[in-house]
Amino acid sequence: MTRTGEGRTREPLIGVLGGMGPEATLDFYRYILSLTPAAVDQDHIAVLIYSNPKIPDRTQAIISGGESPLPYLIEGARLLEEDGAGIIAMPCNAAHYYLEDMRREVRIPILDMVEETCAALRRRLPEVRTAGLLATIGTLKGRVYDEALEKVGVAAAIPDEAVCWMVQDAIDQVKAGKYGPSTRETFEYAGRRLLDAGAQAVILACTEIPLSFDENAVDYPTLNPARILAQAAVDWALGKKGRLP
């Protein structure tokens, strides 16, 4: 920790820039806890979660000139840095469109969920040449994954325009708390369509999707960037700093 004071531990503090959306942030915190080996409270990792759901919509900003979330993202990252976080995790795929601009504004590392996911894809499924993306329109149009996938030798496949909007609509329903069989079926169907179109694996590239998707219930390989990011954050805190930027 960069700041210590009376009563503050010198333990690693994970900063979480969340609220995009809040349920996905809840899910991310759950991954952190479940990935941490702990027998008593004190074995767990200190985490500071700034859940700011007022950050303007990423997709609107990327595709149709809505208010930019960047100033909010920078402010949130600075808050976490000032409070002593040693690293920042941002469980929102579309927000990674702004990652490089954010990194210039803080001194502590911001983990790259996209890069971590592509590395995990290469490691776990080395035979994959084309990966399908289930994501918001913002993540797709902003080409958030394309370059990182290319770097590991993988082509990105995206659904047909109509299916993309079905997925976006289901994501919006998850954000509204209206998820269940219908949203799950939409995500599973869209994943299946990606397989039909040549993808050999599917990336759940919006942190709301795992809230309404059972990775064990589909017959194709999937990657969950939120859980991969949580693992990277936990690894950092536990001292396995292999892949830090």
Residues tagged active-site:
92, 206
Least separation, in Å, of the C-beta of 117 and a second copy?
22
Task: Tell me whether residue 205 or residue 237 sits nearer to a second copy (CB atom).
Answer: 237
Task: Return d(Cα 183, Cα 192) in angstroms, integer.
Answer: 14
- B/e letters for 210-221, b = 16+ CB within 10 Å, e = fewer, are bbbbeeeeeeeb
Least separation, in Å, of the C-beta of 157 and a second copy?
27
Q: Which two tokens stand for residue 99?
A: 């990652």
Least separation, in Å, of the C-beta of 229 and a second copy?
17
Residues that bind a second copy (CB under 8 A): 5-9, 11, 19-23, 26, 29-30, 33, 38-57, 70-76, 79, 83, 172, 175-177
Task: Tell me whether residue 51 or residue 117 sits nearer to a second copy (CB atom).
Answer: 51
Task: Tell me whether residue 151 or residue 178 sits nearer to a second copy (CB atom).
Answer: 178
Least separation, in Å, of the C-beta of 47 and a second copy?
5
Strands 130-134 and 46-51: unpaired
Task: Tell me whether residue 73 or residue 195 sits nearer to a second copy (CB atom).
Answer: 73
